[in-house]
Copies of this chain bind each other. A is one copy, B any other.
Amino acid sequence: MSRTATDRADALPALAEVFREHGHAGASLSRISAATGLGKGSLYNFFPGGKDEMMAAVLADIADWFEAAIFSALELSDDPVRAIAAMIRDVDTYFNSGGRVCLVGTLGLSASRDPFTKSIRLYFARWIAALATCIAKGSVPGNEASTLAERTVAGIQGAIVLARALDDENTFRRILRHHEKTMLDAIAAHRSRHS
């Protein structure tokens, strides 16, 4: 008995990968156990609620990471051009240029999303809102900034789907770069009009 002093937080990354690859239904306890290196005993010690609690913990972890690394940066920066470029770069590395799936997005597509609908909705709503306020700081009118943010987040999700289907990282990066340019162009257009 190793008593690894492992916090449940240490298992979350491996846990997330299993859910990403196999979905909620396909992530069996044996696969989870193999991926995390934890036996059933430890798993149910850390997550008494079973698979659903594991998924909830993973979603919360993802939400925290995005909030800290992306959303707050979008809202707090006073240089929207740099903030947008940083988001695009972070998104590219996080999703591994389309090689890594967005767990929140895929979970939302499946029928087993029911207990997590609120978390899923919040994740995307928060992303769009943060990006919209960032764009709006570049003198872009609010409603235009909102639709632009919405289209960008949707484009990122679509880029993941497409890059995975075509098994081509360049597809992902190409689409990402286009959205970056579109947002920066919008800011540039409204700024020049203001001068």
Contacts and interface: CB of A to CB of B under 8 A. Distances in A.
Interface of A: 21-26, 101-102, 104-106, 108-112, 117, 120-121, 123-125, 147, 150-151, 153-162, 164-167, 171, 174-175, 178
A83 to B, nearest CB: 21
A135 to B, nearest CB: 15
6 contacts: A22-B25, A23-B23, A124-B165, A150-B171, A154-B162, A157-B157
- Give the oligomeric copy count: 2
A159 B154 contact: yes
Contact of A101 (B23, B109, B121, B154): B109
B158 A154 contact: yes
A160 to B, nearest CB: 8
B110 A23 contact: yes
A149 to B, nearest CB: 11
Nearest to A103: B109
A112 B23 CA distance: 10
Contacts of A102: 161
Given A25-B25, A26-B111, A147 B174 contact: yes
A154 B155 contact: yes
A78 B104 CA distance: 41
Contact of A158 (B25, B155, B167, B171): B155
A40 to B, nearest CB: 20
A19 to B, nearest CB: 11
Contacts of A104: 165
A124 B164 CA distance: 11
